[in-house]
Amino acid sequence: MRIVLLGTSSGTPTRTRNVSSLAMILDGRVLLFDCGEGTQHQLLRAPVRTGAIEAIFVSHLHGDHVYGLPGLLATLSMNGRTRPLDLVGPESLRAYVETTLATSFHHPSFEIRITTPPYRGHGFTVTAAPLEHSVECLGYCVIEDDRPGHFDVARARALGIPPGPLYGELARAGDPRVCGPPRRGRRIAFVTDTRPCASAVALAHEADALIHESTYGEELRTEAAERFHSTAREAARVASDARVQRLILTHFSARYGDVAPLVEEAREVFPNTIAADDLLEVHVAAR
């Protein structure tokens, strides 16, 4: 499982950071989370196959999270896509997509299926929870299906099972006679934009990675509260309370040319914290 951060700035892009988007790659399938302006350009620079996008998940309808969506849909169509594409998000997403396509006189070459979460994919589920922002906003968690336990060759031999193709069949089936307990699937939570809240903690519970907005530092915690955003320290508290494995800070205000101080303040609460940069690639190993 790979995560590619495509855009890590907040409301406006900077010379080094585009606005919000990230791609998650699971067994060759691409899930896109948010699609701010310029996401197409970031995809061209990233190790992500645009044609492999299976679904796009939208947190909310603020422009820095969706202004790139109509253009991406048009490009997919011009590139000859024919298989359906799922768009998942708040109820308001349907009106936005239908209006922008209609007013730009664009007729996609493929079916666009607009739904609300949860979403069931091949080998994974994406759940959602409401966040605390100035508009309706959703956080997401990708939950990989549990995998069969490790195959025990010695146990199979003791049972008189001959080596060969049958071993593979039993391993894939997770047969309890020759396999250990199921291995928990990986979990990745994406939480932006929001105040720190109980629903974010519950959504990210024991996730392998939490990607959480960090618009401000603690010196601007009053402004963060007024604008329904989080500081780096507040993001770290969510990570700590949720008992996640690692925290990836993103969605930085353009005022921060150097985000190292934000990482430092977060690490005081949750040591396993890093800052996202555009095109950063994070690998999440199986447990």
Q: Give the orientation angle of helix 69-78 with respect to helix 93-103, to 10 degrees.
A: 60
Structure tokens at 259: 């985000």
Backbone angles phi, psi at 267, to 5 degrees: -65, -20
Out of 34, 64, 193, 208, which one is annotated catalytic?
A: 64
Is residue 64 annotated as a catalytic residue, yes or no? Answer: yes
The CA distance from 224 to 230, in Å, is 6
What are the residue numbers of the active site? 64
